[in-house]
Structure formats: C-alpha cells, structure tokens
Amino acid sequence: DIQMTQSPSSLSASIGDSVTISCRASQSIGFHLSWYQQRLGEAPKLLIYAASTLQSGVPSRFSGSGSGTDFTLTISSLQPEDFATYYCQQSDNTPLTFGGGTKLEIK
Amino acid sequence: QVQLVQSGTEVKKPGASVKVSCKASGYIFTDYYIHWVRQAPGQGLEWMGWINTNTGGTNYARKFQGWVTMTRDTSLTTAYMELTSLKSDHTAVYYCARGEIPADYFDSWGQGTLVAVSS
C-alpha cells in the first residue's frame, strides 16, 4: 500500500498569512494527488486534483504543486473560513490512501 | 446540482448488521463510481472501496473484505453499503463520495452517516 505522510500535523497562523502543507508519498504517484478541506462537523470538500488543478468554485488563494513523491498545498492570504483540517489523497493505486491530516488553527 | 444524501444515524449492538444508503441526484448515476470512506471519532479518513454503478463491480480495501458489501440500485440512483458482524471499533462516520473515472478523486460527498456500535 502507498503511505501518505503529511507535515506538519498541526499549525497555527493568523488571518492574512500564507501557509504551506506538505504531503509525501512512499513511492512515486505521478500527479495522482488530491487535496481536501474538512471543517469541523462537515464532510470533506475537494480543493485540488491532479496535484495542481483547482476544483471549480474553490478560491484561487488555494494552490497545489508537486509530482512523484513530494507535493504541497499553499493557502495564501488566510481567511477565517480556511481554518480546518486538510488531507491529501493518492489515486495512483488501490487501496486509495489519505494522509493523516493537517489541522490549521487560528493563532 | 450534484447531491448525495445519506441515511440517518444508526445505533447497533455488537454482532448486528447495518445498511447505509446514499441517494444520488443531479447527474447521470452510472457515469461515476461511488466510493465509501470511514472516519472514526477524532481520526482521519480511510478509504473502504468503490462500486462501479454501471456494472455493479466492486473493489474493497483488504481490511474491509469479508464484512463490507457495496451494492447499488440504478432505478433508484442509490448506492448501499452493508456492514456485518459489527464491533465497537466500527463506530465511525461513514461517507459516500462520487468518484471521477478513472482518476479516483472525490468531487462530491454525502453528509455522512454515524454508525454507533455499543452494547
């Protein structure tokens, strides 16, 4: 199975800050990487797929990059609604696997 | 608009079974797979498997084989997931999600169904 490792597991930031979350795959997955946002008590929401393609309706302050084994999600100019938990997910091979999550909290 | 609406909270005793439904609307049901994802209390997301809504074929993650069954009814545009031989550590929120073919990312999610297992 492909293991997905996210870092950090949590971070604190202020409104207006820019943050970066990392995701590393245990083997190369090409561009088969997606990012999700999960607010407390809600279902996850797709932000980015194919490593860098922004899902329709997602604000442009979200961006993704990377390929192979190393990927990043960047959120620029943090807004109050961005404080949530973020997950990466690989779709190169089954079983599909998620990273452990990164909880983004207000400083 | 695309919607996935799941059945409500279930409270079950150990050893029981439960069947969760996921009603799809706003798109052609058989053009996308339905995946099921588990989230234990305070934990992350875990993929359980998918059902090909066109053929009924399934692909389960190894740890769920033997006690999870995914089915669908195309006339009702509804997918189902049955869990058998429930244990307390099966307590979780179970989500259905629409999966892009063949890219396997999830662009729409149900609201989640809490299955609580307690004696």
For residue B4, the one-letter residue type is L
Q: Mean pLDDT across the stretch A36-60?
A: 98
- Cβ count near A99 (within 10 Å): 27
Question: Which pLDDT score is estimated for B38?
Answer: 98
The four Cα atoms A99, A38, A46, A29 give a dihedral, to 10 degrees, of 0
Q: What percent of chain B has pLDDT over 90?
A: 96
Q: Which residue has the higher pLDDT, B101 or A2?
A: A2
Residue A14 has pLDDT above 80, yes or no: yes
Averaged pLDDT score across all residues of chain B: 96
Q: Do B45 and A98 touch (CB under 8 A)?
A: yes
Question: Tens digits of per-residue pLDDT, B20-46?
Answer: 999 999 999 999 999 999 999 999 999
Question: Nearest-CA distance from A98 to chain B in Å?
Answer: 6
Confidence of residue B104 (pLDDT cuts 50, 70, 90): confident
Residue B107 has pLDDT above 90, yes or no: yes
- Cβ count near A35 (within 10 Å): 29
Question: Are A65 and A51 within 8 A, CB to CB?
Answer: yes
Q: Pick the residue from chain A with its C-alpha nearest to B98.
A: A46
Q: Pick the residue from chain A with its C-alpha nearest to B63.
A: A95
User: How far apart, in Å, are the Cα atoms of A106 and each of A15, A43, A83?
Assistant: 8, 21, 7
Q: Mean pLDDT across the stretch B61-79?
A: 97
Q: Do B109 and A45 touch (CB under 8 A)?
A: yes
**Cα–Cα dist B76/B29, whole Å:** 9
**Cα–Cα dist B119/B48, whole Å:** 25
| DSSP codes of every residue in B1-58 | --EEEE---EEE-TT--EEEEEEEESS-GGGSEEEEEEE-TT---EEEEEE-TTT--E
Q: Do A101 and B44 touch (CB under 8 A)?
A: yes
Question: Which pLDDT score is estimated for B102?
Answer: 79
Question: Which pLDDT score is estimated for B115?
Answer: 98
**Cα–Cα dist B81/B94, whole Å:** 9
Question: Which pLDDT score is estimated for B101?
Answer: 82
Q: What percent of chain A has pLDDT over 90?
A: 99
For residue B40, the one-letter residue type is A
Confidence of residue B100 (pLDDT cuts 50, 70, 90): confident
Question: Are B95 and B109 within 8 A, CB to CB?
Answer: yes
Q: Do A99 and B44 touch (CB under 8 A)?
A: yes
**Cα–Cα dist A4/A97, whole Å:** 7
Question: Are A77 and A84 within 8 A, CB to CB?
Answer: no
Looking at the complex, does the CB of residue A30 fall below 8 Å from at least one CB of chain B?
no
* Residue among B44, B59, B103 whose CB faces A94 most closely: B59
Residue B103 has pLDDT above 80, yes or no: no
User: How far apart, in Å, are the Cα atoms of A63 and each of A46, A54, B95, B104?
Assistant: 12, 7, 26, 20
* Residue among B59, B95, B103 whose CB faces A91 most closely: B103
